[in-house]
């Protein structure tokens, strides 16, 4: 037996499904060769190059790529079954990584990377068979409240993929800024991507005034496509979110004709919820379908997020046009009008082969027939939707909102509120006990949210996201039985070392 086994010898996050410790180590040396099972395969070539880069950075030796190497990366039909699964065999003589798809190989390379980082020249022998617990392992980023450059978006994706998350939820539109170029509606970014200034201090704690600094920016369609490709190379799906009917003031500043009152409107300069929402008119649907058509052209994945949260009903109550629709469609109230609105959008997305995701408010007034629910106001919405046979993503704010404080606010930079220390995220169980085994199959997985009202810089985003993302990663990937706080804590220093090396401005646990 090896003298050191388990987490200390293999400081992996997330912990793999099965790990057999082995004696001995594999020595990395100059000229160690990496081979692939199919030389002409572009995915395999890219993965071999990725691994070579990690070896150079972490072990300080230059590996070769070519046939007959001691390290092999292979697509094989006898690899562990299941999407994203892989097997990694390390002996003193050789390293063999096999999977049935490139995503599995990518995760195997990440596992190997963590082992090399922890022990650069002498990689501990081991046999790992690994696969994720959940197919949806999400991390969100709000680029509406603050705009972040495309280079940072790529870095964010690279980091989440390092810890085997696979869904990047790109929250692209807000009251405070519209961030995606739409060719049919150019004012969305000419007007909607810019606000004249931003509130200073906490919006709920008395006025401190405004900073007087214009803020904004947007992603061109070419940049967004570049992000999609970059993400796909790391096994990551990009989930775009276009908010409706609420959180749409930036769009209404650009196109006031889709509001319920004449306007004009300004892109919002403070936080909180605006009364202004899209009108439920035919003109609005034509507009939104035009926007979503371009969104679907950029983002190839099955799911499109349409928001649906925090839409005040005041304007619809006061609008004769909205009230006409309620009467005509025999709807009970404005909640059912929102439900009718979302159903129309769902029909459009489904007709184009896509699936609609919305925040749990889309339950109010009745769920659209095929909608997937993202449960943020606790888990009640997710439970209700799963019981109705709908797929759900669990993002309860208590445990998975990384805009919350992670320690005593007295010693932390200003945040929106709440308190979600890393221990709480780690303890979060995505399958609610209220669900039967069959209902639980509708839980696609967990997702953490990073809302950026109080994160004006990329440094602040990384400070709030890390190290909590590491806890999320283990909740999303590892088995329930494997989840053990003391074990996680013993592996955390290695992961923090990795973050350190990558220059991530994470919050240092006390």
**What is the x/- site pattern for ligand ACM, positions 126-165, by CB under 6 A?**
----------------------------------------
Q: Closest residue to ligand ACM, Cβ-based?
A: 309
**What is the x/- site pattern for ligand ACM, positions 19-58, by CB under 6 A?**
----------------------------------------
When the beta carbons of 310 and 412 are compared against ligand ACM, the nearer one is 310
The least distance separating ligand ACM from the CB of residue 249, rounded to whole angstroms, comes to: 14
Q: Which of 26, 178, 303, 359 binds ligand ACM (CB under 6 A)?
A: 359
CA atoms 452, 455, 460, 464: torsion sign: negative
When the beta carbons of 375 and 478 are compared against ligand ACM, the nearer one is 375
Q: Which of 83, 89, 289, 310 binds ligand ACM (CB under 6 A)?
A: 310
C-alpha to C-alpha distance for 435 and 441, rounded to whole angstroms:
9
The least distance separating ligand ACM from the CB of residue 272, rounded to whole angstroms, comes to: 11
Q: Which residue has the tokens 């092999």?
A: 72
The least distance separating ligand ACM from the CB of residue 135, rounded to whole angstroms, comes to: 22
The least distance separating ligand ACM from the CB of residue 465, rounded to whole angstroms, comes to: 16
- Using omega within 30 degrees of 0 as the cis cutoff, is the peptide bond preceding 344 cis? no
The least distance separating ligand ACM from the CB of residue 310, rounded to whole angstroms, comes to: 5
Residue ranges in 179-218 that form contacts with ligand ACM under rule CB under 6 A: none
Contact at 8 Å (CB) between 461 and 413? no
Tell me the pairing of strands 173-174 and 177-178. Answer: antiparallel
The least distance separating ligand ACM from the CB of residue 309, rounded to whole angstroms, comes to: 4
The least distance separating ligand ACM from the CB of residue 364, rounded to whole angstroms, comes to: 14
Mark 264-296 as b/e (b = at least 16 C-beta within 10 Å): ebebbebbeebebbbbbbeebbebbeebbebbb
CA atoms within a 13 Å half-sphere pointing along the CA-CB vector of 156: 28
When the beta carbons of 14 and 446 are compared against ligand ACM, the nearer one is 446
CA atoms 114, 447, 407, 427: torsion sign: negative
Tell me the pairing of strands 194-195 and 215-216. Answer: antiparallel
When the beta carbons of 63 and 357 are compared against ligand ACM, the nearer one is 357
| Helix 468-477, helix 458-465: angle, nearest 10 | 50
Query: What HEC string does 39-85 produce?
Result: CCCHHHHHHHHHHHHHHHHHHCCCCEECCCCCEEEEECCCCCCCCCC
The least distance separating ligand ACM from the CB of residue 448, rounded to whole angstroms, comes to: 12
When the beta carbons of 247 and 442 are compared against ligand ACM, the nearer one is 247
C-alpha to C-alpha distance for 438 and 385, rounded to whole angstroms:
13
Q: Which of 83, 309, 398, 424 binds ligand ACM (CB under 6 A)?
A: 309
- Alpha-carbon distances of 333 from 244, 326, 328, rounded to whole Å: 18, 7, 12
> Binders of ligand ACM: how many residues, by CB under 6 A?
4
Does the protein bind ligand ACM through residue 454 (CB under 6 A)?
Answer: no
- Alpha-carbon distances of 95 from 9, 92, 167, 431, rounded to whole Å: 17, 8, 29, 36
When the beta carbons of 395 and 492 are compared against ligand ACM, the nearer one is 395
**What is the x/- site pattern for ligand ACM, positions 361-380, by CB under 6 A?**
---------------x----
C-alpha to C-alpha distance for 317 and 330, rounded to whole angstroms:
15
When the beta carbons of 185 and 359 are compared against ligand ACM, the nearer one is 359
When the beta carbons of 101 and 310 are compared against ligand ACM, the nearer one is 310
- Alpha-carbon distances of 42 from 46, 233, 362, 441, rounded to whole Å: 6, 11, 42, 35
The least distance separating ligand ACM from the CB of residue 283, rounded to whole angstroms, comes to: 26
When the beta carbons of 87 and 171 are compared against ligand ACM, the nearer one is 171
When the beta carbons of 13 and 449 are compared against ligand ACM, the nearer one is 449
The least distance separating ligand ACM from the CB of residue 177, rounded to whole angstroms, comes to: 16
Tokens of 129: 């068979």
When the beta carbons of 273 and 440 are compared against ligand ACM, the nearer one is 273
Residue 470 neighbours by CB distance under 10 Å:
25
The least distance separating ligand ACM from the CB of residue 502, rounded to whole angstroms, comes to: 28
The least distance separating ligand ACM from the CB of residue 395, rounded to whole angstroms, comes to: 8
Cβ-based burial of 31 (10 A; exposed 0-12, middle 13-18, buried ≥19): exposed
- Using omega within 30 degrees of 0 as the cis cutoff, is the peptide bond preceding 476 cis? no
When the beta carbons of 57 and 309 are compared against ligand ACM, the nearer one is 309
Which residues bind to ligand ACM, rule: CB under 6 A?
Answer: 309-310, 359, 376
């Amino acid at each position: 037996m090896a003298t050191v086994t388990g987490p200390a010898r293999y400081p992996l996050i997330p912990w793999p499904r099965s790990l057999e410790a082995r004696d001995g180590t594999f020595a990395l040396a100059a000229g160690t060769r990496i081979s692939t099972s199919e030389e002409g395969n572009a995915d395999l070539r890219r993965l071999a190059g990725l691994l070579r880069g990690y070896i150079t950075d972490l072990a300080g030796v230059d590996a070769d790529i070519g046939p007959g190497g001691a390290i092999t990366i292979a697509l094989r039909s006898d690899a562990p079954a299941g999407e994203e699964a892989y097997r990694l065999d390390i002996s003193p003589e050789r390293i063999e990584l096999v999977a049935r798809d490139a995503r599995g190989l990518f995760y195997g390379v990440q596992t190997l990377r963590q082992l090399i980082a922890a022990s650069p020249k002498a990689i501990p022998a081991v046999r790992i068979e690994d696969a994720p617990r959940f197919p949806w392992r999400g991390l969100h980023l709000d680029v509406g409240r603050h705009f972040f450059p495309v280079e940072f978006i790529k870095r964010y994706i690279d980091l989440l993929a390092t810890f085997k998350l696979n869904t990047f939820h790109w929250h692209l539109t807000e009251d405070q800024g519209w961030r995606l170029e739409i060719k049919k509606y150019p004012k969305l970014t000419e007007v909607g991507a810019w606000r004249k200034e931003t509130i200073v201090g906490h919006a709920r704690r008395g006025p401190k005034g405004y900073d007087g600094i214009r803020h904004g920016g947007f992603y061109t369609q070419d940049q967004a496509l570049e992000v999609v490709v970059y993400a796909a190379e790391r096994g990551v799906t990009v989930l775009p979110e276009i908010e409706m009917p609420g959180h749409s003031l930036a769009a209404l500043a650009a196109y006031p004709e889709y509001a319920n009152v004449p306007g004009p409107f300004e892109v919002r300069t403070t936080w909180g919820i605006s009364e202004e929402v899209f009108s439920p008119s035919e003109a609005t649907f034509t507009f939104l379908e035009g926007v979503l058509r371009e969104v679907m052209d950029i983002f190839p994945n099955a799911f499109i997020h349409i928001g649906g949260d925090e839409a005040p009903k005041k304007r619809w109550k006061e609008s004769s046009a909205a009230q006409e629709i309620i009467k005509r469609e025999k709807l009970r109230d404005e909640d059912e009008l929102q439900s009718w609105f979302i159903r129309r959008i769902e029909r459009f997305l489904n007709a184009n082969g896509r699936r609609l995701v919305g925040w749990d408010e889309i339950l109010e007034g009745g769920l659209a027939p095929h909608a997937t629910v993202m449960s943020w106001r606790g888990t009640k919405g997710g439970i209700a939707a799963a019981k109705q046979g709908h797929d759900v993503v669990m993002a309860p704010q208590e445990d998975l909102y990384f805009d919350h404080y992670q320690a005593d606010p007295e010693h932390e930079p200003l945040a929106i509120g709440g308190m979600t220390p890393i221990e709480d995220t780690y303890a979060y169980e995505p399958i609610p006990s209220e669900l039967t085994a069959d209902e639980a199959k509708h839980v696609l997985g967990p997702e953490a949210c990073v809302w950026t009202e109080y994160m004006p810089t990329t440094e602040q985003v990384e400070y709030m996201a890390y190290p909590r993302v590491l806890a999320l990663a283990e909740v999303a990937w590892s088995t329930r039985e494997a989840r053990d706080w003391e074990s996680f804590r013993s592996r955390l220093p290695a992961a923090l070392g990795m973050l350190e090396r990558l220059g991530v401005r994470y919050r240092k646990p006390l």
